[in-house]
Structures are given as C-alpha cells and as structure tokens.
C-alpha cells in the first residue's frame, strides 16, 4: 500500500515537473522570438551609414511606430531626438518650441500616438486641425463640414491613418485618389497597389514604393518616357544616401534634385558641389549648415 502511494506520488511529481518544464520552455521560446524580432527591426536602421541623418530618421520612425521611447535614445541629431521624445510622450512643451510646420507635425503625431484628439486643438490652422482629428478618430464624419479640396485632403488623412484604399475612393478627384493609393502603397511597401492606377499615372506610386523598399529595380517599371522614372532614381538615391545612382539621371534638374537629396540624407556639404544650379547649390549648403548647428 505504502509502495503504491510512493509510486503515485513520484508519477504526480514527475507530471508537475514536466508541466513546469514545458511552461518554461514556451517562455524561453517566446522571449527568444520577441528579442530576435526586435534585433531584426533594429538591424534595418543599423545597416544605414552613420553619415548624415538617415539613420536618425529610421530610428525616429521605428520609435514612433512602436511608441518606444528607448529607441529615441539611438538618435544623434538633437532636434530629431526631441521630436521623437515629444511625440511619444506627448510632451507639448517641446512641440511648442519647434518652428510652425514642425510644431504642427509634432501636435498631429503626438495626438495620433496618444489617441487624444484634444491635442489637435492646439493647432491654429483650421484645416490642419480637422486633418489631425480625422487621423486620430479615423472617422470620415470629421470631414463632412469641409468643402472641396479641404474635404478631399481630410479624407486623404483618414485613408492614410487606416491604410485603407476604399477610403481613398471617397475623394472627389481622380488625381487625389491615385495620389492616395500611391501614399498607401509606399506605407505598405506594396507595388501591387500601383496596378490599380491608370498606367500613365503610376510613376509616383512606384517611386514611393521603390524609395520605401530602397529598391532601384522597381523604378524600371516606370516608362522611360515618364519623367517620374528619373524622379524614382532620385528618391531611391536619397533613401540610400548613394550619389552614384544620380549618374543614371540625364535631365539636369532631376540630377540636381538627386544630389540635393543625397547631400541632405548624408549631411555632406561636399555633395552640394555636384549640383549644377548655383541657387540650389547654395541652398543645399545653407540647409546642411543649419542642420549641423542644431
């Protein structure tokens, strides 16, 4: 009798040990998966050269998307780091200190981050206030009191917030609908969306996706006769911080925009010297100097 009890107890204890071991194993696997996913996400930014602000912009986007304040600490540029911290913590005092356009952008992103439409009330411009509320609430009814272009722009913001092509279709102008598709295609990094757009107007869409994916091959889907093909090269060059891509561009204005974009990405004033137009060249140097002084 006693022997049977001991045997039952041993089996019971063994079962408990196996259950505990199984739970611990699941925890270890989940922890590994989550940590590994974070490392992979960070790798996307880590692969970017330390030159310029491209890596900072990558960390900024990642931090805001994940609402993770710790990621903001990877940012070197103080202005971008302040913006990142302000948006995630909804520290409106920091937002107040930015220039007009950046201040407005800060309020909108903070409102979206905290899902708090009251923050939108700090925006002075009426239309922008509506766009902010529409983005936070993801509600088309916010746009109803607006007219014409302002109403379409409001719908556009809701579509982007929801990443929903069917919302784009509610805009009144075809050109606005296609632009809405193009933006969402870039957000989703999905060039298949571009096929929903008339062939002759697909350029901006493929350019957005190519830039988001940093994939030059996508640009070749744009007709050689379409000036957006060279704009696509320019956008990918800026995204990668690679001035060599600019050599593929023949038109002077497009090539200048390409070098300008790469120079700003890398915060390298020497690249401004490759710009043909004197006014744009000086503007390039001035902006980089201002950014470097922050």
The pLDDT value given to residue 48: 72
Per-residue pLDDT of the chain in tens (294 residues, 90 and over written 9) = 555 545 555 555 555 554 444 444 443 333 333 334 343 445 678 777 665 677 888 899 899 989 999 999 999 888 899 999 999 999 999 999 998 889 999 999 999 999 999 999 999 988 899 999 999 999 999 999 899 889 999 999 999 999 999 999 999 999 999 999 999 999 999 999 999 999 999 999 999 999 999 999 999 999 988 999 999 999 999 988 899 999 999 999 999 999 999 998 888 999 999 999 999 999 999 988 877 765
Q: What is the pLDDT of residue 76?
A: 87
Distance in angstroms (rounded) separating the CA atoms of residues 186 and 239: 13
Closest listed residue to residue 160, CA positions, set 142, 138, 178, 127: 138
The reported pLDDT for the residue numbered 92 is 94
pLDDT of residue 120: 95
147-150, long-range: CB < 8 A, 24+ apart: 148/172
Residue 7, number of CB atoms within 10 A of its CB:
10
- Residue 267: per-residue pLDDT: 86
pTM greater than 0.85: no
| Model pLDDT, residue 89 | 95
Task: Give 92: exposed, middle or buried? Use CB within 10 Å, 0-12, 13-18, 19+.
Answer: middle
Q: Is the dihedral of CA 198, 204, 208, 211 positive or negative?
A: positive
Rg value, the chain, Cα: 25
């Amino acid at each position: 009798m006693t022997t049977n009890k001991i045997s039952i107890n041993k089996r019971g204890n063994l079962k408990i040990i196996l259950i505990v071991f199984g739970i611990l194993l699941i925890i270890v696997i989940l922890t590994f998966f989550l940590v590994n996913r974070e490392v992979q996400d960070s790798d996307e930014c880590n692969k970017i050269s330390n030159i310029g602000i491209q890596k900072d912009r990558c960390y900024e986007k990642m931090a805001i998307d994940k609402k993770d304040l710790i990621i903001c600490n990877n940012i070197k540029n103080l202005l971008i780091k302040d913006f990142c911290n302000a948006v995630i913590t909804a520290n409106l005092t920091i937002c107040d200190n930015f220039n007009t356009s950046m201040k407005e952008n800060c309020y909108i992103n903070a409102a979206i981050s905290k899902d708090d439409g009251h923050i939108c009330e700090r925006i002075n411009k009426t239309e922008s206030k509506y766009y902010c509320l529409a983005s936070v609430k993801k509600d088309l009814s916010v746009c109803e009191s607006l007219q014409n272009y302002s109403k379409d722009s409001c719908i556009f913001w809701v579509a982007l917030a929801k990443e929903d092509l069917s919302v784009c279709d509610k805009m009144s102008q075809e050109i606005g609908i296609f632009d809405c598709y193009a933006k969402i295609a870039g957000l989703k990094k999905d060039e298949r969306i571009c096929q929903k757009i008339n062939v002759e107007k697909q350029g901006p869409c493929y350019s957005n996706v190519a830039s988001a994916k940093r994939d030059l091959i996508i640009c070749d889907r744009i007709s050689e006769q379409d000036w957006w093909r060279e704009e696509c090269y320019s956008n990918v060059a800026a995204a990668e911080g690679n001035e060599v891509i600019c050599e593929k561009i023949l038109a002077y204005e497009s090539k200048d925009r390409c070098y300008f974009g790469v120079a700003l990405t890398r915060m390298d004033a020497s690249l401004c010297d490759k710009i043909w137009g004197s006014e744009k060249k000086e503007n390039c140097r001035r902006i980089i100097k201002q950014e470097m002084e922050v």
